[in-house]
Every structure is written in structure tokens, then in C-alpha cells.
């Protein structure tokens, strides 16, 4: 069966195995899931792929569940699915908040977690949260089987990923939080809804129950570099600090990120907001 989007034929696998075989034999085919970005790029003339690989409806790519000590999110799980999931609300509340900010409700109903990940936009709303939560991406290939890549190693440059031409993202795995974890998400844009971010922050600190000191930290930003980025120096500055003495570490961010000027914001604004948003959260942890 073949459909057409513009002039490009669409390959229609019914199972993951079929999709992987087609991915291997047609590496030029663009994977298509919710299509919320692809349709915009097509209309704007940004892309013109020779064919598409339609993944929508493949059961093995769906499903959101708690498996042992982790949350497994199928690549085709929509942002609305995440928002409505009791498991996601319990194990990854910062991710739930990020999914609430993706476009309008119509986009959330159709756009997928997998699509947000592999679109690899530095402004992707969920990406800094996935970095902060130490998510791993489950990739499959017909020839080599499956492997997992930590989020911290996945985005390698502007819209470049550790994803081979014959691989598909099948699921995102998010570890269950520790009792001492505190997580945070904040998106700053021109308006409160349907806005592309100027700065996105995903953060997590782990507090020792007895002393209230930070034993682990993850600070990640979007829209401040060519990829979503972690801030290791800021994370190191937080380790060993006690609650009530965390906010000063936010100033370290200014030494780690080098935002650019573009049509949405200035570098100066982005840098100031990145520091202030983190400082405000750390003061309230």
C-alpha cells in the first residue's frame, strides 16, 4: 500500500520488524510519526525527501509503562499521553510539565516523544528534561539488533545524533527518581502558549536525607547552544552544598554557555535568563 505526501511515496510497514527492514533498504526515506514538524518543513520547502517511512500505528513503538525501576516511553507516545499518565506524573513530573508546553493542544495530541528527540532541535522542550533525568534512548537496527544511548551522548551537533541510517528510536527509558530528588522544568518564550523557547531549563538535584546536602546534580539547557547541553561545572559547584546555600552556584552557568543572537532573542537576554531561572529554583529547593 502506498500513500502520497506531496510527490513523495510513503512506505507503510505494519510491524517494527518491517519498519526496520525498510529503514535498512531505504535509508533515504524520512521516518514519519506525528508529522507536526515534518508537515511544516514540507510546506515551507525546507525538506524534500524522496520518500517517507510512516511509523504511525506500529504497536511496538507505543506504550507508556513502569518497568522495574524505570519509566519506558514508546517512541510514538504523544505529549498528551505523557501528561495524562499516572506513571509519568509519579516518576517524571518535570517531563509532564515539559510536554504541557509543546505547541498547542492539537500538537500535543499528535506530536510524539520520539519525534521531539530525533528532530534534535536545540529548542526542543523535552530534551533538557531528558538530559536532567539521565534518560536513555533505545535504538534498533535490523542488522545489529538494539542498543541504548544515554541522552548525554545522543545529540552531537546541530540536528546531528548518534543514530545510524538504518536505526530507529524505539523507546525512551527514564530512571525512577530517588526519594531525595528534586526536579524542575521551566520554559521562557515570547508568550505562555504556542511559543518556541528562548531558554529551556531541565534540572535535578539529589539531597541527602540526613544532611540536606546535594549529592548529585543535573543542570541542562535548551535554546542556548547548537544542541541541548548539560552544565558540568555548575553541577560540580552544587555538590556538597546544603539546602539554603544553593542559589549562588547558578552564577557558574554564565561561564559555561555561550548563547547566540537570533530572531527570537539576544545572547545577552538568554544568558541573564538562564542564570536567573536556575537561581530562583535553587533558592526554593
Question: Which CATH number fits the domain that encloses residue 69?
Answer: 3.30.465.10
Least confident residue range of 67-76, 143-152, 258-267 = 258-267
- Of 158, 175, 192, the residue at which a domain comes to its end is 175
Question: Do both 21 and 128 map to the same domain?
Answer: no
Rounded average pLDDT over 61-76: 94
CA distance 92 to 86: 10
Would the CA dihedral through 75, 80, 86, 90 be positive or negative?
Answer: positive
Residues 188, 281: Cα–Cα separation, whole Å: 14
Q: pTM (2 decimals)?
A: 0.93
**Between these two residues, 5 and 60, which has the higher pLDDT value?**
60
- What DSSP character marks residue 241? P
For residue 43, name the pLDDT band (cuts at 50, 70, 90). Answer: confident
Q: In whole angstroms, what is the distance from residue 168 CA to residue 20 CA?
A: 7
The total number of structural domains that make up the chain: 3
Verify that 190 and 258 share a domain, yes or no: yes
Query: What DSSP line would sit under 108-160, residue for residue?
Result: HHH-BHHHHHHH--TT-SSHHHHHHTT-EEEEEETTTEEEEEEHHHHEEETTE
241 and 259 share a domain? yes
pLDDT at 49 exceeding the cut of 90: no
**Shared domain check, 103 and 31:** no
Mark whether 151 and 188 lie in a shared domain.
no
Rounded CA-CA distance 280/69 in Å is: 31
Same domain (yes/no): 65, 155: yes
Please check whether residues 96 and 40 belong to one and the same domain.
Answer: no
Q: Report the C-alpha gap between 1 and 283 in whole angstroms.
A: 57
Q: What is the mean pLDDT of the chain?
A: 92
CATH number at residue 39: 3.30.43.10
- Pair (168, 64) in one structural domain: yes
The residue-averaged pLDDT of 177-199 equals 83
How high is the pLDDT of residue 240? 98
Domain boundaries, position 157: 59-175
CATH at residue 223: 3.30.390.50
Contact status, residue 240 vs residue 214, Cβ threshold 8 Å: yes
In contact, 135 and 174? CB cutoff 8 Å: yes
Q: Of 138, 157, 175, which residue constitutes the final position of a domain? A: 175
Is there a single domain that holds both residue 36 and residue 70? no
Domain stops at, among 135, 154, 175:
175
Amino acid at each position: 500500500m502506498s500513500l502520497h505526501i506531496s510527490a513523495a511515496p510513503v512506505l507503510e510497514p505494519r510491524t517494527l520488524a518491517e519498519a526496520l527492514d525498510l529503514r535498512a533498504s531505504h535509508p533515504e526515506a524520512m521516518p514519519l510519526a506525528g508529522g507536526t514538524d515534518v508537515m511544516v518543513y514540507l510546506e515551507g520547502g525546507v525538506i524534500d525527501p524522496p520518500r517517507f517511512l510512516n511509523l504511525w500505528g506500529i504497536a511496538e513503538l507505543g506504550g507508556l509503562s513502569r518497568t522495574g525501576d524505570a519509566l519506558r516511553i514508546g517512541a510514538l507516545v504523544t505529549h498528551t499521553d505523557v501528561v495524562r499518565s499516572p506513571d509519568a506524573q509519579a516518576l517524571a513530573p518535570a517531563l509532564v510539565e515539559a510536554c504541557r508546553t509543546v505547541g498547542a493542544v492539537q500538537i500535543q495530541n499528535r506530536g510524539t516523544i520520539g519525534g521531539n528527540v530525533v528532530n534534535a532541535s536545540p529548542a526542543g522542550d523535552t530534551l533538557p528534561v531528558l538530559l536532567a533525568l539521565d534518560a536513555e534512548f533505545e535504538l534498533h537496527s535490523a542488522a545489529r539488533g538494539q542498543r541504548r544511548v544515554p541522552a548525554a551522548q545522543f545529540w552531537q551537533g546541530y540536528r546531528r545524533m548518534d543514530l545510524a541510517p538504518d536505526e530507529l528510536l524505539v523507546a525512551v527509558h527514564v530512571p525512577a527518581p530517588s526519594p531525595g530528588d528534586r526536579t524542575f522544568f521551566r520554559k521562557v518564550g515570547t508568550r505562555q502558549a504556542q511559543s518556541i523557547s528562548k531558554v529551556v531549563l531541565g534540572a535535578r538535584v539529589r539531597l541527602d536525607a540526613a544532611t540536606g546536602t546535594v549529592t548529585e546534580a543535573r543542570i541542562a539547557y535548551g535554546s542556548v547552544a547548537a544542541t541541548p547541553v548539560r552544565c558540568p561545572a555548575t553541577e560540580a559547584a552544587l555538590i556538597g552544598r546544603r539546602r539554603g546555600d544553593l542559589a549562588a552556584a547558578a552564577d557558574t552557568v554564565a561561564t559555561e554557555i555561550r548563547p547566540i543572537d537570533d530572531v527570537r532573542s539576544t545572547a545577552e537576554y538568554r544568558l541573564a535568563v538562564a542564570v536567573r531561572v536556575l537561581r530562583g529554583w535553587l533558592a526554593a529547593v
